[in-house]
Structure 1
Amino acid sequence: MVQTIAVLDFGSQYTQVIARRIRECEVYSKIYHYTTTAEELKRDGVAGIILSGGPSSVFDKAAPIPDKALFDLGVPVLGICYGIQLMGKLLGGKVAKSKEREFGLGTLQIQKPGRLFYRLPKKLKVWNSHGDKITELPPGFDAIGTTDNSPYAVIEDRKRDFYGIQFHPEVFHTERGTDVIRNFLLRVCKVAQDWTTEDYIKQAVKKIRQTVGKSRVILGLSGGVDSSVAAALIHKAIKKQLTCVFVDNGLLRKGERESVEALYGKHFKIDLRVIDARQLFLRRLKGVEDPEKKRRIIGLTFIEVFEKSLKKIGHADFLAQGTLYPDVIESVAIGNNPASLIKSHHNVGGLPERMKLKLLEPLRELFKDEVRAVGAALGLPREVVWRQPFPGPGLGVRVLGDITKAKLDVLKEADAILMEEMKDSDWYWKVWQSFCVFLPVKSVGVIGDERNYAWVIAIRVVESIDAMTADWTKLPYDLLARISNRITNEVRDVSRVVLDISSKPPATIEWE
């Protein structure tokens, strides 16, 4: 059985980063809401607990407070930032507001390395983000590290294996931060490094077989990373019991349907049903310009087509989805307050209840990079495993204004040229996303000696880590020139190519 390190989430922007750092050490981590009881953690058999940081102060009236009984479970506990202050308050120490708050880089001096700083330098650059600090140690604790503003920046209770650190070891800016986390895992919690891609695949295949039995599984295949890896993993487990449905809505990139048929139908020998719904989608979208209306129409039409296809396929008990761990985490976010609507997202959530199917989500424990590693291990090609994000509504939100087949054809040709040049130059694999946008304006150009009044294409290429923020990519001028020249010369109805140099925020990555 894989050992679990519990990360209690107190609303820190870095909670997922902590979980990822643990997994990078080949140890399984799971994020829990801070209200999770000690009894629940005990039932899950956690081998250690990390209290994340958070935006609150322990002095706030509504400060998030965990079940104090977690300190009686007999497992190691590491408190980070807000977590160390909680430990100070709950275990009998004293916490006060700092006269001089510490934000950003600082210097940590280690007086006693102990297990947490084993084989690490006595002086480290660390990332701070706090306005409170411990002023009196809880009984049983010793101070082993200081910063300019805090004599108790690192504390330990060696007997109970309780540790508190005032800085964030999980962020890139902290020197040797991952080593601090690794020491906590291996030297304090003494867990095995048994979270590897190969081990995960073996466990997932076994679990899928036990869950599904002899039942049939349906999966809506989009050709994206998540659904592709889910399909390959489930197929490895149950072979012919899996049927994949691929809906061609006419909003796909050039050649996408053919590549999906070749890879999954012919190479992996998966039972693949391709539904040609291009005319239906275009008919429903005719004259619609509002991006939110377009998204809703595309989403509802997809559900309608998907449901009809299942009736033709026959009885099935499970609907498979490529849900990832970050999607699961969002459902237990602090306060459960949804963010302001930026744009609706198209997925197949809502299908299970209507269709009375059980959900099968084999990737729900994985982060995106782990999904890519699983896909590579299962033999999926690089083009699929490292495919850039593609919106659920497809080119429907990259044709600004109303959608017609003629406009889609122009965009597909321009986008195909961009993809070819990005891959040939190796830039495709270096950026987060690259795509073309069809602008509903015409511009005068010249082809030979003739005046050409034609459409404008915008190029959008961005760098990002998680799509929460993004910056435009500074592509080489010769590559940009080659892309522009090819599009204006090879796509008859385009007279001009422009470059989007907006960052997120204030802009979004997609235009609609």
Structure 2
Amino acid sequence: MTEQVTKQAAQTVLVLDFGAQYGQLIARRVRDLHVYSELVPCDISAEEIRALAPAALILSGGPASVYADDAPSIDPKIFELGLPILGFCYGHQIMAVSLGGEVAHSEVGEYGPATLIREHDTALLNSTPLEQRVWMSHRDAVSRVPEGFTITAHTATCPVAAMEDTARKLYATQFHPEVKHTEHGEQILKNFLFEICKIEASWTMDNITEEKVQAIREQVGDNRVILALSGGVDSSVVAALGARAIGKQMTCVFINHGLLRKGEPEQVEEIFTQQFDVDFKHVHAEERYAALLDGVTDPEEKRRIIGTQFWNEFFAVAQELERNGKPVTYLAQGTIYPDIIESGARKTGGKASTIKSHHNLIPFPDGVHFELIEPLDHFFKDEVRELGLALGLPEHIVYRQPFPGPGLAIRIIGAVSPEKLQMLKEADAIVREELDRYNQRLFDKTGQRNSAHSCWQYFAILPDIKSVGVMGDERTYARPIILRAVESSDAMTADWAKLPYEVLAQISSRIVAEVPGVNRVAYDITSKPPATIEWE
């Protein structure tokens, strides 16, 4: 049970997850309307829900048939709690069969857009058109509604596309209001949250910030906290929260392995020594990492070396604090909500399913152990960014691109050397400068930070080859740089960015002119899949 849910209980919407591809999306759509929402497993009991005291429940969709032997089920007593409940797709069907209705296998499935015809009198679909486009994804469908329910909408092939029992505050749709393809999905969610449930839209960033600051103070008390500060979004937001909550009780350990992008170590030190009041430790480990990586070509061996040495450096600082009379009780981490969901964790009061604990993945040395503090563990990524801005972090940190933990070591194909590292840093800085400028132009035109043609991630790669070239009147035999720029929203899939020729030409000419040892620039035009975004 999280502190956030405890404080927000009267205004919390729990999403019962039946394995839907849209499960996280439902929680996000509710939060977008300034109502706190959290995913819980579908097998949560009525008593556990009663203990959590939410304002409402939403039953997600799911891939199974309600009549399959291994189909997810629901505690039928949940429908007796008196809570407003909204079901989508599988949630619509499980509500029907749990309450005495029937679900049948349709002759024709509906996948994708469909035309919904609604009735005049319906609380859930109020203020939406009588005819509207919705998004369907089903083969089974409700064939008989339970007693007390009214059919409120249908499509050409689905006679019960929506149903409701207003006396018991039970509502359900066969379609998916949470996806953008359902034209009036947001209005449907607003009807449920604000008209039916009477929830206040009070989950705002100002409120969230003060609650998280207070929660950290209460958890930590007079004890000390240590944080591995990478300069990335998540750890930087945790550091900013810690600075506001407990100041120099938090030690931020920035381990400089020499594999960051040009200018980043200096930026991190400036921000967390000038803007935020924390105990900042800059560990210069560049030479130790260079010695360990010398001659190593296998990418997995690079990762192992960098990860192992990171914890060696980190715990050395912790032990130094102990010797200096500043023993550490808590280890802060930038774990975010998708990390928890994807690892199988579902924190629901007295119940938790099998968890791959992040805490257990930390290689504590003998005699060292910290309690874990994860202040972002119920935030989605864009909420973390919004929180970072509210805390005063600069935009270049808040909107920092995804960057691999091993840093530039896995963007150098083959062995890492000081010469190669310097070459890649300079080329990568040019790529980022030019594509930052390109993205800014798109932002100025559209007002959207992630417009349709903006780049989501972009960087340079240094392959382990050389090629012939001509510079001036001389033949050269130098290295190429490969440009990688992709459009994506979640990194699960990505398409190569269709950059204007003039942008590509500017990047190429600058790299060849300004980076010694480079005579060629190539552009990777492979999507994910079949490729990955990174090369190693």
Asked whether the two chains share a fold, i.e. TM above 0.5, the reply is yes
- Residue pair 1:299, 1:347 contacting (<8 A) in 2 also: no
Q: Distance in 2 between matches of 1:457 and 1:386?
A: 25
> Which residue of 380, 391, 408 corresponds with 1:367?
380
2:155 maps to 1:147? yes
2:238 maps to 1:195? no
Q: Which residue identity is paired with 2:425?
A: K
Relative to structure 1, the CA distance from residue 477 to residue 125 in structure 2 (aligned partners, 3 Å threshold; closer, same or farther) is same
> Which residue of 205, 220, 228 corresponds with 2:228?
220
Matches within 5 A, 1:324-473: 324-332=336-344, 349-351=361-363, 355-427=368-440, 430-473=454-497
Q: Distance in 1 between matches of 2:154 and 2:461?
A: 53
Relative to structure 1, the CA distance from residue 170 to residue 349 in structure 2 (aligned partners, 3 Å threshold; closer, same or farther) is same
> Which residue of 109, 114, 117 corresponds with 1:101?
109
- Residue pair 1:170, 1:178 contacting (<8 A) in 2 also: yes
Q: Which residue identity is paired with 1:438?
A: L
TM-score (norm 1): 0.95
Question: How many angstroms does 1:240 deviate by?
Answer: 1.4
Relative to structure 1, the CA distance from residue 484 to residue 348 in structure 2 (aligned partners, 3 Å threshold; closer, same or farther) is farther
Q: Distance in 2 between matches of 1:82 and 1:414?
A: 51
1:323 is aligned to 335
Relative to structure 1, the CA distance from residue 427 to residue 470 in structure 2 (aligned partners, 3 Å threshold; closer, same or farther) is farther
Q: Which residue identity is paired with 2:98?
A: L
Cα deviations by residue, 1:310-348 (Å, 9 ceiling, x for unpaired): 1112211011111111111123279x9999xxxxxx999
Relative to structure 1, the CA distance from residue 259 to residue 408 in structure 2 (aligned partners, 3 Å threshold; closer, same or farther) is same
Question: How many angstroms does 1:246 deviate by?
Answer: 0.2
Question: How many angstroms does 1:356 deviate by?
Answer: 1.2
Relative to structure 1, the CA distance from residue 445 to residue 113 in structure 2 (aligned partners, 3 Å threshold; closer, same or farther) is farther
1:343 is aligned to none
Secondary structure of 1:441's match? coil
2:27 maps to 1:58? no
- Residue pair 2:249, 2:278 contacting (<8 A) in 1 also: no
Instruction: Single out whichever of 286-295 and 493-502 deviates more from structure 2.
Output: 286-295
Cα deviations by residue, 1:61-96 (Å, 9 ceiling, x for unpaired): 100112222111110111100111111111100111
Question: How many angstroms does 1:54 deviate by?
Answer: 0.9
Secondary structure of 1:104's match? strand
> Which residue of 179, 182, 186 corresponds with 2:187?
179
Question: How many angstroms does 1:152 deviate by?
Answer: 0.6
Cα deviations by residue, 1:337-396 (Å, 9 ceiling, x for unpaired): 999xxxxxx999415696310111111111111111111111111111111111111111
Cα deviations by residue, 1:150-172 (Å, 9 ceiling, x for unpaired): 11110001111111100111111
- Residue pair 2:439, 2:455 contacting (<8 A) in 1 also: no
> Which residue of 519, 522, 529 corresponds with 1:495?
519
Question: How many angstroms does 1:479 deviate by?
Answer: 1.1
Secondary structure of 1:237's match? helix
- Residue pair 2:493, 2:529 contacting (<8 A) in 1 also: yes
Question: How many angstroms does 1:233 deviate by?
Answer: 0.8
2:3 is aligned to none
Relative to structure 1, the CA distance from residue 375 to residue 338 in structure 2 (aligned partners, 3 Å threshold; closer, same or farther) is closer
Q: Distance in 2 between matches of 1:289 and 1:431?
A: 30
Secondary structure of 2:267's match? helix
Secondary structure of 1:19's match? helix
Relative to structure 1, the CA distance from residue 439 to residue 348 in structure 2 (aligned partners, 3 Å threshold; closer, same or farther) is farther
Cα deviations by residue, 1:225-263 (Å, 9 ceiling, x for unpaired): 111111001110111111100001111111111111111
- Residue pair 1:399, 1:439 contacting (<8 A) in 2 also: yes
The alignment covers a number of residue pairs equal to 506
Matches within 5 A, 1:87-166: 87-166=95-174
- Residue pair 2:102, 2:143 contacting (<8 A) in 1 also: yes
Cα deviations by residue, 1:186-207 (Å, 9 ceiling, x for unpaired): 1122111111100000110111
Cα deviations by residue, 1:421-449 (Å, 9 ceiling, x for unpaired): 12233359542111111111111111111
- Residue pair 2:343, 2:355 contacting (<8 A) in 1 also: no
Matches within 5 A, 1:28-43: 28-43=36-51
Fraction of identical pairs, as percent: 49
Q: Which residue identity is paired with 1:451?
A: R
Q: Which residue identity is paired with 1:386?
A: Y
Matches within 5 A, 1:307-318: 307-314=315-322, 315-318=327-330
Q: Which residue identity is paired with 1:385?
A: V
Secondary structure of 2:161's match? strand
2:444 is aligned to none
Structure 1 gap segments, 5+ residues each = 340-345
2:287 maps to 1:279? yes
- Residue pair 2:458, 2:485 contacting (<8 A) in 1 also: yes
Question: How many angstroms does 1:267 deviate by?
Answer: 2.4
Question: How many angstroms does 1:456 deviate by?
Answer: 1.3
Cα deviations by residue, 1:88-120 (Å, 9 ceiling, x for unpaired): 111100111111000011011111352211211
Relative to structure 1, the CA distance from residue 53 to residue 269 in structure 2 (aligned partners, 3 Å threshold; closer, same or farther) is same
Q: Distance in 1 between matches of 2:478 and 2:510?
A: 15
> Which residue of 284, 287, 293 corresponds with 2:301?
293
Cα deviations by residue, 1:30-63 (Å, 9 ceiling, x for unpaired): 0001121111111111111111111111121100
Q: Distance in 2 between matches of 1:183 and 1:500?
A: 47
Q: Which residue identity is paired with 1:402?
A: A
Secondary structure of 1:152's match? coil
Secondary structure of 2:412's match? coil
Secondary structure of 1:107's match? strand
Q: Distance in 1 between matches of 2:318 and 2:469?
A: 49
